[in-house]
Structure 1
Amino acid sequence: MSGALLVIEAIALWIVLASAPSRVFLPIALDLAAGPHPVVLVRLDLGFGVVALCLLVGVARLLAITPGIFPVYSAQVAGGRHPARWIEFAFSSSIVVFLVAQLNGISDIGALVLSYAATSAMTLFFVLEERTERAATERMLPLWFGAAIGIVPWGVIAFHQIAGLLVAQSPSGLGRVITLVMLAFSFAFFLVHWLLLEHRLSPENRLQPENRLLPENRLLPENRQEQQRIDSARSSSSGEVVHIVLSLASTSVFAWLVVVGVVSGQL
């Protein structure tokens, strides 16, 4: 459902942009030590950049529900693993950070590529958290390491925001709004994942070894183990739904804010 909505949105955005009187092109430049000025390598069409983002996320979601992939996808989600989520998130979140950085005046290709790479690396830590078995007290470590890396591009963007204000060359008002909105969505993604992990690692939700003895020296009943597995799968599926809704909302809001800015000339 979310995939189809994003594909429809991409088509609608493309129609709006095609009829717009002007476009916004953001430079991607290389600053050479021997040259007096940065060399512009290419100019990115901002409007069609967000159209491509909507298509990417939409197609990824549609692929996940195709007959050949959905059984594997649903089994992985029930088992507490979300490879489809992290593949899509690695690309979409990195593209968003890349475009937001450009909106804030960052044009150097080195800084843009590093921002993209740092955001993708953050996602790899989330994958590591799901796939590495360790004590519950240590399961949060990959999450915190990922957050520490993922916040770096936003720190660079904030630095450019402040520097722009100091030299009276700050981004437009809408550009600042887009930056703050997407930063809030990034925090929401992290918060949701943290809360879901906290819930999964709580003592009452962790699966216990089958031979563990209760205080009364009785073996843990099999139906208790089965109920824990069902609850764990249900929690994992609910978390996936929350992520899909949040992904749909963040992608849509970002795309429409950018297109409104392009059409109205505020970017």
Structure 2
Amino acid sequence: MSSKDTAAGVTSEALAGLRKWNIGLTVLHAVQGIAIIVLAGGFSIAVTSSYPTGPPGSTIAAPSTLFEVRIGVAVAIFLFLAAADHLLTCTVLRSTYEADLRRGINRFRWIEYSFSSTVMLVLIGFYFGLTGISTVVAVIGANVAMILFGWLQERMNPPGRASTTMMPFWFGTLAGAAPWIAILINLVGTSQVPGFVIGIFVSLLIAFFTFAVNQWLQYRGIGRWSNYAFGEKTYLVLSLVAKSLLAWQIFAGSLAS
């Protein structure tokens, strides 16, 4: 691969540093997941169904429980998914991961995000009353679309390109905003909102979208983000900080509930 076709800053030294980060994050995410499993109580939230009773415009039947989701277990799964991603990319999939980084892409990041961030967003939605099965499916679809647009953003902007397109990024932003608008509608429409729930909404919204900000900075080539390896390292830092914040706030909310 010529230097023109290699992403900026993806050197042997940078890749060695990223491997150390991935090893560290494997341990830290896994330890947090185990801690939450140990500390978790039995708090769960029911996913419900509510179907029309007749032709369009008919009364909707009262919701009935389809299944229940144990919040502590779900948060631990979120962390274990992140740990598995970092473990694979620093061991058996290391060569593929590093070859991808040289090409300015990390497919494993997008695959893992499509699962882990969707789990977390569904849990956030639960706290704001988005528990109907139809709504849950819509939230999952919108979030996975957002993540896949992120993947497409990288695919459409290889190293050595003559110009950069941000179209997939903005399409992904539009798709990703939909679940948060639904959450905001329920937040505003609720007569009594516990303070900790408002805190969760604000802090998690900020944490959730720091990943999008990182990609925007990366593809606008602003400051150190013109170095692809720096952007990748920032993703790893965010993976630790933002995911830990998301996980522990949702878990703490389950205890408060």
Q: For this structure pair, what is the TM-score category when the shorter chain's length is used for normalisation? A: 0.7 to 0.9
Give the structure 2 partner of residue 251 of structure 1: 243
2:117 is equivalent to residue 93 of structure 1: yes
SS at match of 1:42: strand
Give the structure 2 partner of residue 30 of structure 1: 49
- Contact between 1:182 and 1:254, CA under 8 Å: does it hold in 2? yes
Please list the CA deviations of residues 116-159 of structure 1 after superposition, one character each: whole Å capped at 9, or x if unmatched.
1101101111111221258625x111111110111010000000
SS at match of 2:46: strand
2:175 is equivalent to residue 149 of structure 1: yes
Please list the CA deviations of residues 237-260 of structure 1 after superposition, one character each: whole Å capped at 9, or x if unmatched.
211110011011122112222232
SS at match of 2:65: strand
Partners in 2 of 1:169 and 1:105 — Cα distance?
13
Partners in 2 of 1:135 and 1:127 — Cα distance?
19
- Structure 2 counterpart of 1:64, which letter? T
Greater CA deviation, 127-136 or 7-16?
A: 127-136
- Contact between 2:124 and 2:250, CA under 8 Å: does it hold in 1? no
Give the structure 2 partner of residue 208 of structure 1: none
Partners in 2 of 1:186 and 1:37 — Cα distance?
33
Partners in 2 of 1:238 and 1:15 — Cα distance?
35
Partners in 2 of 1:136 and 1:24 — Cα distance?
51
1:136 to 163, 166, 183: 163
Partners in 2 of 1:194 and 1:136 — Cα distance?
15
- Structure 1 counterpart of 2:168, which letter? P
Unpaired segments of 5 or more residues in structure 1? 206-230
2:145 to 121, 132, 137: 121
1:174 to 185, 192, 196: 196
- Contact between 1:32 and 1:39, CA under 8 Å: does it hold in 2? no
Unpaired segments of 5 or more residues in structure 2? 1-23, 54-59
How do residues 185-224 of structure 1 correspond to structure 2 at under 5 angstroms? 185-199=207-221
SS at match of 2:104: coil
Runs of 4+ in 1 over 2 A off after TM superposition: 132-137, 258-263
Give the structure 1 partner of residue 77 of structure 2: 52
Please list the CA deviations of residues 68-87 of structure 1 after superposition, one character each: whole Å capped at 9, or x if unmatched.
31011011112201101111
How do residues 225-236 of structure 1 correspond to structure 2 at under 5 angstroms? 235-236=227-228
How far did residue 236 of structure 1 move?
1.6
- Contact between 2:123 and 2:250, CA under 8 Å: does it hold in 1? no
Partners in 1 of 2:152 and 2:248 — Cα distance?
33
Partners in 2 of 1:125 and 1:10 — Cα distance?
28
User: How many correspondences in the alignment?
Assistant: 225
2:30 is equivalent to residue 7 of structure 1: yes
SS at match of 2:39: helix
Give the structure 2 partner of residue 72 of structure 1: 96
Partners in 2 of 1:10 and 1:127 — Cα distance?
26
Give the structure 2 partner of residue 81 of structure 1: 105
How far did residue 4 of structure 1 move?
1.3
- Structure 1 counterpart of 2:206, which letter? A
Give the structure 1 partner of residue 136 of structure 2: 112
SS at match of 2:221: helix
Partners in 2 of 1:39 and 1:156 — Cα distance?
21
How far did residue 104 of structure 1 move?
0.5
